[in-house]
Amino acid sequence: MADDPLSRTFAALADPTRRALLARLARGEATVNELAEPFPISLQAVSRHLKVLEAAGLISRGRDAQWRPCRLEAAPLERASVWIERYRDRWEDRFERLDQEIRRIQDGSEKGNDHE
């Protein structure tokens, strides 16, 4: 996995199981057993996914006596969102210019059809 935080975030988000784990944690803290419950994979496999998420800074694990809750950490997701948003603005601008050009061409075609 790459060393920079943004690459670690996107690599962690690339897996649908990890995205589902994050979606569950967005509703509140949960133990590994609670997180593993809906998945048809071993507890060990869920733990490996959680380690990837933790290494990316997307989750943290606490300790409360015997209870070790996992919780979502929003900062890496916010950084990824800012990065994506920067490119979204560029693409939306390009699509708007493309729409304008298509309308200009269509308007020209309609005017040309009036003379037939």
CA distance 33 to 23: 16
17: left (phi over 0), alpha (psi -120 to 50) or beta: alpha
pLDDT of amino acid 108: 83
Counted domains in the chain = 2
pLDDT of amino acid 63: 81
Q: Domain holding 64: CATH number?
A: 1.10.10.10
The alpha carbon of 16 is separated from its chain's Cα centroid by a whole number of angstroms, namely 10
**Per-block mean pLDDT, blocks of 10 residues, the chain (116 long):** 86 97 96 94 95 96 83 96 90 92 88 60
pLDDT of amino acid 113: 63
pLDDT of amino acid 115: 53
Residues 57 and 81 in one domain: no
Residues 55 and 105 in one domain: no
Residues 10 and 61 in one domain: yes
Residues 48 and 31 in one domain: yes
